[in-house]
Structure 1
Amino acid sequence: MSSSLSADVAVDLRVQPVDEVLDRVERSLQVRLDRETLVRKRRTVGARTDRDTWVRVERRRIDKISSQGWNGFECAATLGGIVKPAWYACVAWGERYGAVMWRADETELLPAEPVKPGGVLTDDPKLPDTWWDTLSSSLDALAAQYTSRVATPDTVTITQNVVTDAICSVFPGPLDTTIGCWAPAHADMNWANVTGPEFCLFDWEDWGMAPRGLDSASLWGNSLAVPALAERVWHERRRDLESRDGMLMMLFFCTKIVGPHAHPEDPRLEPARRAAARIVENLREAPSGLA
């Protein structure tokens, strides 16, 4: 793939040729990629290597890097108590023309397949109790640690203003959206980034400080098409989701489903609308300032 593409050019790595990029990664990391295992997404590609590791390659605009850096996988290697792939090495480079960077990270292979590699989960994956136990222990361990990073869900730095603007634009009316507690979060918690039936949490490029309950609310929201699964997430993570911050994060997630870009065929749409109405009512009745 030519490195002369401008940052303003829309690039979809699912269809763009990437042989030139993969060749460069192989030379830099001194590894051979198994092209038969190549997984292509809009801005990332990944493949298994000849030394039984995984290499993930991402293309990102510099204006989506400058605020917190470009080394989420590497920084996450220092986190303890979380079941995640080990990080081994990386290579990064900038395009000669255009404000774009490439980065390749080599990590441990996943212990199992992603629960839902793409799209909306519509069937209960029937995960064992040990999976749920490991999920909770990992999220609790993550929230107990410290980082100077700020989370970038959907590559947007999360701030109080971002939360307030998102919620108030979709749910107008008197509502205190003040976040009381911030803690480290994965910030891309969905069924494509966890494995099953053996739990592992991967894709750490956007992690950092975030409102309490962001990860729990994200997994809950991504489960709304399967009511029993959403209920299980809420039950397992109720300590987060019953808090005022957790309710705000559930409402924040709902804005992505029921907001101006709502898709009428999204199976989460009606459950999200019903849940959002209950959450707004509970937030307006609950005393402000509670964590």
Structure 2
Amino acid sequence: MTDPTMEALAAQLEASGDYRVLRRLKVPPAGFVPMPHMKRAVFLDVETTGLDPNEDEIIELAMVPFWYEDSGRIAGVEIGGSALRQPQKLISADVTRLTGITPDMVAGKAIDFTAAAQFAGESLIVAHNAGFDRRFVERFCPQLVNNRWACSFSEIPWAAHGFESAKLSMIGLAHGFYYDGHRAVNDCYAGIEILSRGVPVGGPESAMKVLLSSANSRSWRCWADGAPFEKKDLLKARGYRWADGSDGRPKAWWIDLDEAGFHPEMAYLRSDIYGWSAQIRICELNALNRYSDRLNIITYAIPAG
């Protein structure tokens, strides 16, 4: 419960113009009852033993459900939770430093991934680094491979909206709150609170609305197979990144394009990179497969000019 005396003091400090007040993020009360028109999402966060989803392991899984409207308004938050898991290898000191999770904390612990999948159901899953979290989750909890995913880190242009960092804690500070970031479930509550706020700060459009617009859109990943070596600097300057093929995907320069940018980019590749109607590989990306290892890569013939 908010102390009115403390709030009055905080208001005085803020009114002076010489101080900024940070408020601790509070967990919403239990008992929210959604209306029929509302949709359910789950904010998810994992802590792991490392960065490789093929070799490293999940040591903590946190999920917090929330309800939203098509307008992007977040209507309510449910009580979430987290679970710890003992990995096969000892948790390193670096991982403990980053996550706050020690070997003693996970000793003898296990995560019921079947129960976790039931808890998530068919909800939209939101993560603040879905490119990392989804690949781990699909390995350890394959029941969630058919869920739609969205990334609050990469699908909201935080810098364009005036934020100095896309880190959760820094966005929270910009919105005037702080939280204990050493536990995954706290990151989930913070992420939901941030999605409920305006972008830019105080703006009329919520971050959730921006995220939904991106998640519901289709984009394309394109690999410029066989692009001449001497064109690599042009591709790099245009935003292409190099893939070495070690993950089983094409060894080539690649880029992600939205619907509007696809055909103009094909024209650019034909005229400025290949000089002819080349064949490249592409993959459609949407909320069902975005950030997943499960990509349906096909060959695409760039039309002649």
- TM-score bucket (shorter structure): under 0.3
Report the TM-score when normalising by structure 2: 0.23
Larger gyration radius, structure 1 or structure 2: 2
Report the TM-score when normalising by structure 1: 0.24
